[in-house]
Amino acid sequence: MRPHRPAALVLMLVSLSTAAALAGTGWQVVASPDVSGSDFDQLNGTLATGPTEAWTVGFSRLASSSVFRALVEHWTGSSWQVVASAPISSSDDTRLYALAGTGPRDVWAVGSDAGTSVQGLIEHWNGQSWTRSSAPKSEPAGATLVAAGADSTSDAWAVGYVNSGGFQPLIEHWNGASWSVVNGAFAGGSGFDRLRAVAALSSSNVWVLGSTGRHPQPVIEHWNGAAWKIVPQPANGYDSHLDAISALSASNVWAVGSQNVTNTLVEHWNGGSWSIVPSPNASGSAAQSYLTGVDALATTNVWAVGGASTNGAPVTLTEHWDGAKWSIVPSPPSGLASLNAVSGLPAGPLFAAGYQDNASYQERTLILQH
């Protein structure tokens, strides 16, 4: 007689066996829905919150409209489905760029809402539905939030920039009751200053990545629980920036991006200083390689994703750290695609999200699973 297992456990075992099978065969495209009637669908952030649950966010546009709308997709262990984001006026241009959370019932999504004015957009999932959080009263007009990090239900961060005739960095903090604007150590001043990524280890250990200048240089700042401080970093190539960060511990943090226009950039924090770690680039005529997402699952298991423009056509790029070196891991599809984010759990699943062009050169959602 076959032993009976609860449905949830059966689903979990199926999911884990599927993840194991995919891990043996490398990256695979998994079906991801597009909005009906759309001609543009893009995914920017992803977050795995459990063995049978993950999220991805971005934005979509109907073929009959010039307005983009926030796009949220949910994976329940067997398939991805579009779910309703927080109710917002249909005339507003809304876009989601990133996710963060502490568990299946505590997930944040951040982006922008261009209605009568441009303001930051923050939505929260409580396990039942997405609701919009009130923006800080002191948030400047022209705010866009592009990254989020959370270490508890009462400690979350969102970062981005304000565009008011020039770009200035923006940090916002959640204390369990409300969001507020926080002044960081990176005050800007070049008119081309943005914050791009954040990783929260604890209430006294938060990292933020940014860039400064028309031809950008990376900026890294750290929160110790009392104050923000600029931390020196080694990259100084032409047009260099760090776009994503993932922290395993106080002495093991990874940041990725690009430098010198054509090359990937990987930096590592060992608890005392940041250093550049060699990372490979795509090969081909006039290849340009970049990394836009990173997730550190273990000391010997770190993934970074992005893209490469090879012979004028963008292709996905995935790289893996095995504890000794970074190497390129083949990833589909064959062309006209790029990845923006990666997230997973040590035992699986592992997802990468981005976009691909179809035969009509319409942009469509793209999700890979490993």
Same domain, 172 and 247: no
- List, as one string, the DSSP characters of 220-267: EEEE-SS-EEE-------TT-EEEEEEEEETTEEEEEEEETTTEEEEE
pLDDT digits (tens, 9 = 90+) for 319-334: 999 999 999 999 999 8
Residue with tokens 């099978």: 21
Give the domain-ending residue among 198, 221, 240: 198
Q: What is the pLDDT of residue 161?
A: 98
* Predicted pLDDT at 7: 29
The strand pairing partners of 95, in sequence order, are 112
Asked which of 173, 198, 223 is the last residue of a domain, the reply is 198
What range defines the domain where residue 295 resides? 232-370
For residues 244 and 361, state if they share a domain.
yes
Whole-angstrom distance between the N-terminal and C-terminal Cα of the chain?
A: 34
Q: What is the pLDDT of residue 16?
A: 33
**Can you give the pLDDT at residue 12?**
31
CATH number for the domain harbouring residue 47: 2.120.10.80
- Is residue 215 a part of any domain in this protein? no
Is 162 inside any structural domain?
yes
At 285 the pLDDT is 62
Predicted TM-score (pTM) of this structure: 0.92
Asked whether residue 193 falls in the same domain as residue 47, the answer is yes
Q: What pLDDT digit, counting tens, does each position of 207-239 carry?
A: 999 999 999 999 999 999 999 999 999 999 999
251 and 330 in a single domain? The answer is yes
Mean pLDDT by 10 residues, the chain (370 residues): 28 33 72 95 97 97 95 96 95 97 97 94 97 96 98 98 95 98 94 97 98 96 98 95 98 97 96 98 82 98 94 89 98 93 96 93 95
Q: Is residue 269 situated within a structural domain? A: yes
Report the domain count for the chain. 2
Q: Look at residue 328 and tell me if it is in a domain.
A: yes
Q: Return d(Cα 362, Cα 120) in angstroms, integer.
A: 27
Question: Which pLDDT value is given to residue 286?
Answer: 66
Within this chain, do residues 276 and 167 fall inside the same structural domain, yes or no?
A: no
pLDDT of res. 310: 73
**Per-residue confidence (pLDDT) for residue 335, from 0 to 100:** 79
In a domain, 221, yes or no: no
Spatial neighbors of 101 by CB under 8 A, at least 6 apart, are: 47, 49, 107, 108, 125, 150
Residues 193 and 306 in one domain: no
